[in-house]
Amino acid sequence: MEIAILGFGNIAKGVEELIFKNREKIKNITGKEVFVKTVLIKDTIKKREPFDKNIYFTDDFSKILEDKDIEIVIELTGNLDSAFYYISESMNKKKHIITANKAVVSKYFYKFYSLSLENNIAFLYEASVGGGVHIIKSIIEDLPINDIYHTRGILNGTCNFILSSMKDKDLSFDNALKLAQELGFAEIDPSDDILGLDTRRKLKILSSLIFGKKIDEKDIFTQGISKIKSIDIDILKDRNLKVKLIGEASRIDEKYSINVMPVALKQESIFYEVDNELNMISYSGNNISEVFFLGKGAGRYPTADAVLRDLIDVLLRNYIIFNPIEDKKINLSNDILKSSFYIRIPKECLSLIKDIIKEKIEYKDYIIAFTKEIKLSDMENLINKIDSDDYFFARISKE
C-alpha cells in the first residue's frame, strides 16, 4: 500500500523512519507491504535525507491527489488552511486520512467525519491529542457502551514544563520559557501554547467526541499561563498547591461546561506529580468511572508512534466509519463550575473582589486573595472589569 506524507518536519521524519524500519513487522501483522511513495514539501531545493531513498519529494500537491496508487495520506504540516484543503481534497479522492494536526482537526472535526462517512474512508487523528498518550481510540471504543460525561487533562507539555521549572528550579516565567525553548519543548513563537489555545484545541477534540455535538472553539472559556509570576507559584507552594494548566469538560444534567485555565492542585490530586513535559488525560463513563492515560504528550517518536498505530488500523481495516457528532451545537455555560480561586490583581482593583475575599495578602502593587466559592461566570465578569493585563488567577481544585 502506498502512502503520501504531507510535510517533512520533526514528526514526519519520525513517521518515515518508523515505517521504513518496521516494514517487515507491519507486514507480518497486517499482511500488507507499505511504503512512503511521495512527500509534500515547500522547499524543493533543501537536501532531504529520508531512510527510504526511493521517496519522491514534491511541492506539487496534485502529484499526490491524482496518484491513484496512493491510498493513505498522512497529514503532518501543522498548518491550518492548507491542511484543510489537503485533507478534504484527499478524502474526496477516497484516500484514508491520518493526521497529527490538532488545529485542523479541532476546527473541522464535524466536516472531516462527514467526509469520512460520505467517502467510506478512515479519518484517524490519534496523534493530534497527547502524542504518545493514546486516548482517542480508547474513547471511541468506550462510546458505544458508556455514557461518557467528563474529560480533563494536562494537555500541553510546553505549559507543564514551564510551570514545573518555575516551581522546581525557581525560574521566572521568561526564563522557564527560554529553557523550554532551548530544550525543544517550546516553539520560537510559543503563544498558542502559553495562551492556552493548543490546550483548547485538544479539549475541543476530546469533548466533541464524548458529547457528540458541535462545539465552537471560541465558546470555550480559556485562560493560559502567560500572566503567571513567581510570586503566584511561591504563595501556592507554601500551601502545598501546585499550578497546572488543565482543560476540563463536564456534562451535568444536560448542561455543559468546557474550560481551560490554571488550576491549583492539592498534593493528593492524581495530577499533582505529572510534571515537566508529561501529559495526563482522563475520561469518565458510567461503567468505567474515571480512567487516566499518562505519558509523553509530544516529541518525534511518541507522536510518530501514534501515527503508526493509526496506520496499522487502516491496513487491518480496524476502524469504524461513523460520524459521532450530531449537526447540533452545544450551549456552554460558565454557571455550572463553582470553585474558590486564587487571584492576584493590581491594588487599585481591590473593590472588584471585596465581596468574595476569604483571605487577602498585600504584595507590592498587588492584592493577592483566596476567594470564597464563586461561579466561573462571576470570575469571568470580574477579570473583564480589570483595567490591566497584569493579573493572574487559578481555580483551587477540590481534590
Q: Can you tell me which residue has the cell 512527500?
A: 39
Q: Which is nearer to a copy of itself, 233 or 294 (CB)?
A: 294
Q: Which is nearer to a copy of itself, 252 or 270 (CB)?
A: 270
Between the two ends of the chain, the Cα-to-Cα distance in Å is 49
Query: Minimal distance in Å, beta carbon 318 to a copy of itself?
Result: 4
Rounded CA gap, 22 and 18, in Å? 6
Structure-derived torsion over alpha carbons of residues 57, 81, 218, 351, reported in degrees to the nearest 10: 80
Query: Minimal distance in Å, beta carbon 34 to a copy of itself?
Result: 12
- Residue pair 159/199 in contact by the 8 Å Cβ criterion: yes
- Residue pair 283/142 in contact by the 8 Å Cβ criterion: yes
Query: Minimal distance in Å, beta carbon 271 to a copy of itself?
Result: 9
Query: Minimal distance in Å, beta carbon 214 to a copy of itself?
Result: 20
Give me the active site residues, please: 202
Q: Which is nearer to a copy of itself, 168 or 219 (CB)?
A: 168
DSSP β-ladder status, 56-58 and 123-124: unpaired
DSSP β-ladder status, 366-371 and 357-363: antiparallel
In the β-sheet with 70-75, what is the strand arrangement from edge to edge?
A: 56-58, 35-40, 2-6, 70-75, 96-99, 123-124
Query: Minimal distance in Å, beta carbon 259 to a copy of itself?
Result: 23
| Residue 176 backbone phi and psi in degrees, to 5 | -65, -40
Q: Which is nearer to a copy of itself, 192 or 305 (CB)?
A: 305
- Residue pair 84/123 in contact by the 8 Å Cβ criterion: no
Q: Which is nearer to a copy of itself, 148 or 197 (CB)?
A: 148
Q: Which is nearer to a copy of itself, 267 or 351 (CB)?
A: 267
Rounded CA gap, 64 and 70, in Å? 7
Query: Minimal distance in Å, beta carbon 136 to a copy of itself?
Result: 12
- Buried-exposed string 89-122: b where 16+ CB fall within 10 A, e elsewhere: bbbebebbbbbbbbbbbbbbbbebbbbbeebebb
Rounded CA gap, 59 and 61, in Å? 6
In the complex, which residues of this chain contact a copy of itself (CB under 8 A)? 18, 22, 25-26, 28-29, 132-134, 138, 141-142, 144-146, 267-270, 272-274, 282, 285-296, 301-302, 304-305, 308-309, 312, 316, 318, 320, 322
